[in-house]
Structure 1
Amino acid sequence: MNDQALGTICDYLKPKMFEENAQVIEAGQPLNVMLYIIAGSMQAYLPIRAAGEACPSTSFETLEKGMFVGEQLLDWAAKTKTFYDQPVSFKTVRCAEKVEAFALTVNDWKTLVVSRDIFQRSSKSEV
């Protein structure tokens, strides 16, 4: 990806604020947003099934300033041909404290790929 493409992506970034304990992403649900954390921290964990109900696991990954959440959308946007194959999150992500982030939604990625051609594709018909 070249500097011009990165600049175009930055034009689509939107600031987002999340309160402490807010659930941002739920495991098993479509991944709708990619976040770049600029302040605060989040916890990502794989849910455990106990008696048919999902429970938070005791092991989690801490996501902090400078880290991404939902980065699978970048890979998806670069490879998708139809946009009907939106990825599903395999982790639940909650805010450990108040979080500030920059967001790119699925629709932002669709617009960037279709109208801006930020990824090297041989033709628009691939999208």
Structure 2
Amino acid sequence: TAMVKTPLCLDSSGPFHFGIYQFALPLISSNSITIKILYSNLWGLMSLSTMGNNLAPTSQCLELMYCISVVLGGLMLFTLLVGNIQIFLQAVMARRRKTQLRYRDMEWWMRRRQLPSRLRKRVRHFEYQRWATMGGEDEMELIKDLPEGLRRDIKRYLCSDLIKKVPLFHNLDDLILDNICDRIKPLVFSKSEKMMREGDPVQRMVFIVNGRIKRSQSLSKGMVATSVLEPGSFLGDELLSWCLRRPFID
């Protein structure tokens, strides 16, 4: 078998001092474009992630300046990463602290009012469900101090997909739709909690974003009709029909 001798200029143990370019020797000796792309990306990531610790420069001025820039770039990226993580953790801890204070006040109030254990359990379950769904944030609270026009446009953007699913909204003008969107607010209901009872007056229209709602209606001879509303459905449109049929009174 014939042995292929490595050229002297590509021999890492030869008389040439490659410095930081020693890692580029496999790129020159390989004919594969994939290897060249992957190896160059690997070298760049290693240099930035280790802040230039894998570089061994020579005494060339430009080479030293390049190594300094790589080290400074790695330090800057690391500082940005730590800063973003710190800001994220502070925001999460602030929301968690606010929720803990609310939970503590709720527990104190339930003990003072001597609520039964079953009601306390429902309250705790609701608070847990609210935290899991909203993450301690209230979107309406965030935008309440914005200018009225900007707040209206934001709520119109957030609610446009919901109101388009209601056939009664298709023929309404933009002014009425803006007023409807301005009054939409998020609500969270825990599992097995009753939203409204049969026979109660309809007070709101509900759009289902997440979860499902089981609706039941009593029929004759003791029979009960049930149906399940999936995300994207709505209920309470009888209130809207009544408002549109009712004449305006000055």
Q: TM-score, normalised by structure 1?
A: 0.54
2:233 counterpart (48, 67, 70)? 67
Other-structure match for 2:201: 30
> Among the aligned pairs, what percent are the same residue?
27
Give 1:76 deviation, angstroms.
1.0
- Determine the C-alpha separation between the residues in 2 that align with 1:48 and 1:19: 27
Return the letter of the residue paired with 2:182.
Answer: D
Structure 2, unaligned stretches of length 5 or more? Answer: 1-171
Other-structure match for 2:179: 8
Alignment map for 1:41-80 (pairs within 5 Å): 41-47=212-218, 57=224, 59-80=225-246
Q: Matched residue of 1:33: which SS? A: coil
Between Structure 1 and Structure 2, which shows a larger proportion of strand residues? 1
Q: Matched residue of 1:4: which SS? A: helix
- Determine the C-alpha separation between the residues in 2 that align with 1:71 and 1:60: 18
Question: Cα deviations across residues 82-106 of structure 1 (Å, max 9, x unaligned)?
Answer: xxxxxxxxxxxxxxxxxxxxxxxxx
Q: How many residues align?
A: 79
Give 1:21 deviation, angstroms.
0.5
CA RMSD, aligned part only?
A: 2.2
Other-structure match for 1:118: none
Conserved in 2, the CA contact under 8 Å of 1:45 and 1:56? no
Question: Cα deviations across residues 46-88 of structure 1 (Å, max 9, x unaligned)?
Answer: 12578xxxx882x41111111111110111111224xxxxxxx
- Determine the C-alpha separation between the residues in 2 that align with 1:69 and 1:47: 17
1:41 to 1:76, Cα distance in 2 relative to 1, 3 A:
same
Q: Matched residue of 2:209: which SS? A: strand
Return the letter of the residue paired with 1:35.
Answer: V
1:16 to 1:72, Cα distance in 2 relative to 1, 3 A:
same
Other-structure match for 1:21: 192
Conserved in 2, the CA contact under 8 Å of 1:44 and 1:62? yes
* Larger Rg over CA atoms: 2
Q: Matched residue of 2:241: which SS? A: helix
- Determine the C-alpha separation between the residues in 2 that align with 1:23 and 1:11: 26
Give 1:37 deviation, angstroms.
0.7
- Determine the C-alpha separation between the residues in 1 that align with 2:188 and 2:229: 15
